[in-house]
Structure 1
Amino acid sequence: MMKLKKMLAAALSSVMLVSAAAAAVPQGAWAAGDCVVDTGTTYQTIRGFGGINLPEWISEGDMTDAQVQKAFGNGEDELGFTILRIYVSDDSNAWSRAIPTAKRAQALGATVFASPWNPPAAIRNTVNGGLNGGKYQLKKDKWAEYAQHLNSYIKYVEGQGINLYSVSVQNEPDYAAEWTYWSANDVASFIAQYGKAVKEGTKAKLMSAESFQYQKPIYNAILGNQQAMANCDLFGTHFYGTQRSQMDFPQLENCGKEIWMTEVYVPNSDSNSADRFPEAVQVAENMHNGLVVGNLNAYVWWYIRRQYGPMKENGQISKRGYMMAQYSKWVRPGAVRIGATEQPNNNILCSAYQNEDGSIAVVAINKGSSAVTQNFSLSGVDISDISAYRTSAYENIKEISQSAS
């Protein structure tokens, strides 16, 4: 067993990646209980981290080549994202707008998936039913046409050279004042009856509808429908307002299919809020809770480039982005979450991951306002090299010194 020592934060709250790490103890820091990392205890496989590109909606337009590189590259001062979400427009004439960035991101190794907000106008009714009734509803006799719409979209994207990983049934059907509402039973019935038609002749998977807040009715309806479960390849959800206590869903986590968190911003969408600190630590905490409590396989932000997102409008990484990068740069696709003492002391959150190349990433978060010296004990693996990186009020994924014994 190897013991490591690392000082978490230098004044204010911080998040740090420690690839089995350590550092000198500054005066005034207090010793915390060990975080024991156990490679013999394994949990979910991580597919990656990322966000959406939505030039169809925003006046700022598409991401530039340099911005795509900064988002999906994993070099110095790059985010290391590995998942891109794109938009299934209800107008097939607009499908081409998602392609350029999707191609560039895929070339950098990103997984691409897509979400629809609305069916085409010809097969929906305008109901203006508010959050719980939707602006639109899919006509009951047009389910087959909607399945064909999604199938055509997948084939179009694949025809552009993009390996579309999945398409979901619907974005936020349970918070649909501005888009299309679906009842939970209709979601399950559509997947059961037309899920195969959506995927026919393609390599894409079918994702469930994506609840805005991990509300359980949609998922319970699918779990309770044998044919829907057979046709649904993975589950998607959003985390708007989702508390830690709501993230654990044992029935879904144990059903044999992956759970992707496909949209959120934390803690707000205030203008020019992306660099606020210690507010940005809430991003890291939300990621931790989703991965550790919810056993998520993927964590995907809302707009990649936005004044409250991981990348600011000027193309520079924000403090929120550096918080995400503490995970995305070192917890790579195919990594498996392994055992780690989650809360070795007050205000400390830890999680650990073993990558496919055998390297181990430990992400530790200090939610407090004082520096903490955190000990890490690793078992079940020989460590040949140690590195540590920290994001704090004054640091952005800065490499820091460490010691081991």
Structure 2
Amino acid sequence: MATPPSETPVNRRAVLAGGAASVPLALGLTGAPAHADPTRPRPAVVEPGRRRQVIRGFGGMTHARWIGELTPSQCDTAFDNGPDDLGFTILRIPVPEDTADWSADLATAQAAAAKGALVFASPWNPPADLVEPFVRDEVPQGSQYEAENATLVNAHIATDNPGYQGEGYVRFDGAGASVQFDGVVIGSAGTKNLAFRYSAPSGDVHADVHVAGVAVAEGVLFPRTDAGTWAWKSVQAQMTPGQWPVTVVATGEGGPDLDYLMAAAYTPPGEARRLRHDAYGAYADHLNGFVHHMRDNGVELYGISVQNEPDYAHEWTWWTTDEMNRFLAEFAGRIDCRIIAPESFQYVKRVSDPILEDPEALANLDILGAHLYGTSVEDFPYPLFEENGADKELWMTEVYYPNSSSSANLWPEALRVAEHVHHAMVDAEFQAYVWWYIRRFYGPLLEDGAISKRGCMLAHFSKFVRPGHHRVEAPKEPQTGILTSAYAGDDGTLVIVAVNTTTESASQSFAVKGRAVRKARQWLTDATRNLAEQPAVWGRGNAFTASLPPESVTTFVVPA
């Protein structure tokens, strides 16, 4: 098991050159004084004996055919765990559809595996001779925005007609009424499909659709439906990356009843593709061939996915839930590797629920993989997985956050990465957190190989929370704006990651149940410091107290 960085790190890269200024410290107490200050935050009690999920690690993706390989030096920075390294322990690579490209990412995979990293692979497409075009007639996919959470003008939330999702739907009260879906996330430039789930029991109605105040479709017809029957109306718009308001404005006496909006890239009719239904066996052989190719070249894949984002496949291969379940139940068993599925782009539960509810499909699943693009923290928990996935692993297999448009060094925006990892570990209870491209201007490594601020946020977890550690019980927000999570190694080492999201310093005490605390080493990132080791915090009894600078992340390591 890897150990934390040495007591006196020698920083080689300017991005990790942390200042040596000490952080104000306070001694920990084993309990509250006789006359405790009622306004003083109570200690966050960490319970190493109450284990949650086992951690497989943290890492990222490389895709040589799209952005080039990592250099040997960049590989070292990503997967070593010295003072100036990220300490990543997971590498994701693609499964090329053409066997001639199977070695494109081999050198990086070999280097990562030699350093002890887990390597897994995801396909975007089957071989070209195994796919066919088709016309999609299923429910539109994309990021979902509920109408009842929108900004309403001369409109109201209703619940009298059945069949809606969420807490209700929105009914227009007259001409000029509007429903504005705020913060619609667009990740890349291009033609987007804005699909509205609607009902129109009173007859045909019309409405205009605006993006950021500009009309993109006027007089859109929403044909009549029966009461309680919901249909789809889609419009297309050219959009650029960002968060945009999408507004529906009634043009007659009323508009359609709106349930929610789905926003996604646009796939023209007839351009969608899928795996031929008579080619499932050949596709399983293709995946198995890649597993053996990597094995024959010294890389034992930890897992292989059936499909990258089968529910957002505007530029790759679509799968329905029925198709995915059939492949898992009837063909995945012939693949000599752990199976990962479904890798929904947004952790959409209706994509993974059918697997968890089908014993034959579930029997051949080893890792439930998910992406977190636009997923709200409220949707991170997964009760059905808790119920049916007892012997399965739960991985977050791809994300960039909060965007792919800003520099990874932009602060305090980069602090949001640490918040995201915290929620992924605590609220979703993922066992792995895998970033998109390891090297990118918005990623953990910049194009020149230097570690970015976003990279530091990931490293506060990856360098110290090592494979085999367990997350253990601890308050996830012991005081407003302070996020904490704790992890224990089998050797007795305890790791606590504290994220101060506020603009003020905060004093936070930690009490470790069932053991004494002699000291806690600490590493800090804030506006001016990057993974800078600070003077150790000395404990008293079973507790210690530290000051958390504003907008900062601190990782504490309590030795056994």
Tell whether 2:115 aligns with 1:114.
no
The answer to whether residue 497 in structure 2 is matched with residue 363 in structure 1 is yes
Q: What TM-score do you get using the length of structure 2 for normalisation?
A: 0.65
Equivalent in 378, 385, 404 of residue 252 of structure 1: 385
Match among 336, 345, 350 for residue 212 of structure 1: 345
Q: Report the Cα distance in structure 2 between the residues aligned to 1:54 and 1:248, rounded to whole angstroms.
A: 30
Q: Once the 2 structures are TM-superposed, how far is the Cα of residue 234 of structure 1 from its aligned partner?
A: 1.1
Instruction: Give the strand-richer structure, 1 or 2.
Output: 2
Matching residue within 38, 50, 74 for 1:41: 50
How far apart are the structure 2 equivalents of 1:158 and 1:46? Answer: 24
1-structure distance, mates of 2:126, 2:285: 11
Segments of 5+ residues of structure 1 without an aligned counterpart are 1-21
Matches of 1:230 and 1:250, distance apart in 2: 19
Looking at structure 2, the residues matched to 263 and 147 of structure 1 have their Cα atoms a distance apart, in angstroms, of: 23
* SS of residue paired to 1:362: strand
Q: Which of residues 296, 303, 310 is equivalent to 2:430?
A: 296
From 395, 401, 424, give the equivalent of 1:266.
401
Pairwise CA distance, 1:218: 2.2
Distance 2:268 2:491 in 1: 47
1:193 to 307, 314, 330: 330
Match of 1:233 in 2: 366
Quote the residue 2:25 is aligned against.
24
Q: Matched residues in 2 for 1:253 and 1:260: separation?
A: 14
C-alpha deviations, 1:170-212, integer Å up to 9, x for none?
000001110010011211111001011122xxxx201112000
Describe the SS at the equivalent of 2:351: helix
Q: Is the 8 A contact 2:519 2:538 kept in 1?
A: no
TM-score, L = length of structure 1: 0.89
Q: Between 130-139 and 86-95, report the one with greater CA deviation.
A: 130-139
Q: SS in structure 2 opposite 1:208?
A: strand
Q: Tell me the CA shift for residue 260 of structure 1.
A: 0.4
Cα distance in 1 between the residues matched to 2:123 and 2:96? 6
Residue 381 of structure 1: how far off its partner (Å)? 2.8
Q: Which residue number in structure 2 is paired with residue 404 of structure 1?
A: 539
Residues 1:176 and 1:131: Cα distance change in structure 2 (over 3 Å): farther
Output the CA distance in 2 between the equivalents of 1:303 and 1:132. 28
Q: Whose Rg is larger?
A: 2
One-letter code aligned to 1:157: M
The answer to whether the Cα contact below 8 Å between 1:187 and 1:218 also exists between their aligned partners in 2 is no
* Cα distance in structure 2, aligned partners of 1:251 and 1:85: 26
Tell me which amino acid in the other structure corresponds to 2:375.
T
C-alpha distance in structure 2 between counterparts of 1:132 and 1:331, whole Å: 45
Aligned residue pairs total 373
Per-residue CA distance 1:250-294 (angstroms, 9 max, x = gap) = 1113421111000000000015x1001110111111111111011
Tell me which residue corresponds to 1:68: 75
Change (3 A) 1:225 1:131: farther
Return the alpha-carbon distance in structure 1 between the equivalents of residues 40 and 496 of structure 2: 18
2 CA distance for matches of 1:281 and 1:270?
16
Identify the structure with bigger relative contact order (alpha carbons < 8 Å, sequence gap 6+).
1
Matches within 5 A, 1:79-228: 79-127=86-134, 130=266, 135-199=272-336, 204-228=337-361
* Kept in 2: contact 1:131–1:175 (CA 8 A): no
- 520, 526, 551: which one pairs with 1:386? 520
What is the CA–CA distance in structure 2 between the aligned matches of 1:103 and 1:163, rounded to whole Å?
A: 9
Matching of residues 40-59 of structure 1 within 5 Å: 40-58=49-67
Map Cα deviations across residues 317-349 of structure 1 (whole Å, 9 max, x no partner).
000000000000000000001011111111011
Instruction: Report the Cα distance in structure 1 between the residues aligned to 2:377 and 2:439, rounded to whole angstroms.
Output: 26
Shift of 1:31: 5.1
Measure, in 2, the Cα distance between the counterparts of 1:63 and 1:118: 23
Cα distance change of structure 1 residues 105 and 126 upon mapping to structure 2, 3 Å threshold: same
Contact kept, 8 Å, 1:253 with 1:295, in 2: the verdict is no
Aligned to 2:418: 284
Deviation at 1:367, TM superposition (A): 0.7
8 Å CA contact retained: 2:518, 2:539? no
Aligned-residue offset at 1:131: 5.7
RMSD: 1.7
The structural deviation recorded for 1:159 is 0.7
Q: Which amino acid counterpart does residue 33 of structure 1 have in structure 2?
A: R
Task: Indicate the larger mover: 33-42 or 176-185.
Answer: 33-42
**Contact conserved, 2:131 with 2:276, CA < 8 A, in 1?**
yes
Aligned residue in 2 for 1:3: none
